[in-house]
Amino acid sequence: MTNKEKVLSHTKLVNLLKMAYSAEKAAAFAYIGHAGSVSDYEEKIAIKQIEEDEWNHRMEVLQIMNHYDINPSRFYEFKFHFIGRLISISCYIIGWFMPYYFAGRLESGNVCEYFRMMHYFHELGIYEHNQVLYEMGIKEKEHEIYFLEKIKNKKLLPIFEKLFFWGSHHSFNEVNLQNKYPIEESAKYCKK
């Protein structure tokens, strides 16, 4: 069985690739609105850079998909296009705190998407995508930390953390940027 046949038969991997590809578009659209809604120039520049990172991730996921002849999902493309545009508009309405909070929460979950892809590829004996998946997972963690740093001293954070299970004391991944595993050991991440 070829690597292409192995990947195409791994439905969880194929679905995760398709979903990540489309979800990166939603995130990028959301950050367009988020950057537009903030008045601080430095914050605007930082969020625009995160938007650019998401477009780059979308391109990198597509390269992996193309390698195995996996087409994007029309359903996911439509769904996440709509979600991204809706979030983008809502950033102008819901105030300053919530876009930062929910962006950080989203990024926290996205970290494991890329490490789970790595696990799935490893199940198939495929290791050639380790570098790009590792870099995307670490970049998502950097995004999570950026957004958390912006809100860590806000009075609303403990309330939102209790309601939505993410914040100063909760994360959806165990990646620690100060003590991160090297790429050779990074398969230890997101095993739960």
Distance CA 91, CA 101 (A): 11
75: pLDDT strictly greater than 80: yes
State the pLDDT at residue 165. 95
Cα 88 to chain center, whole Å?
Answer: 16
pLDDT in tens, 153-169: 999 999 999 999 999 99
State the pLDDT at residue 20. 97
Confidence of residue 173 (pLDDT cuts 50, 70, 90): very high
> Average per-residue pLDDT in the chain?
96
State the pLDDT at residue 192. 74
Average pLDDT of 115-127? 97
46: pLDDT strictly greater than 90: yes
| Contact yes or no for 37/91 (Cβ under 8 A) | yes
Average pLDDT of 129-157? 97
pLDDT in tens, 22-41: 999 999 999 999 999 999 99
Helical axes 11-37 vs 74-90, angle rounded to 10°: 20
107: pLDDT strictly greater than 80: yes
State the pLDDT at residue 68. 98
Count of residues in the chain: 192
Contacts of 158 (CB under 8 A, 6+ apart): 167
Confidence of residue 96 (pLDDT cuts 50, 70, 90): very high
State the pLDDT at residue 61. 98
State the pLDDT at residue 145. 97
Domains and CATH numbers, the chain: 3-188 (1.20.1260.10)
Task: State pTM to two decimals.
Answer: 0.94
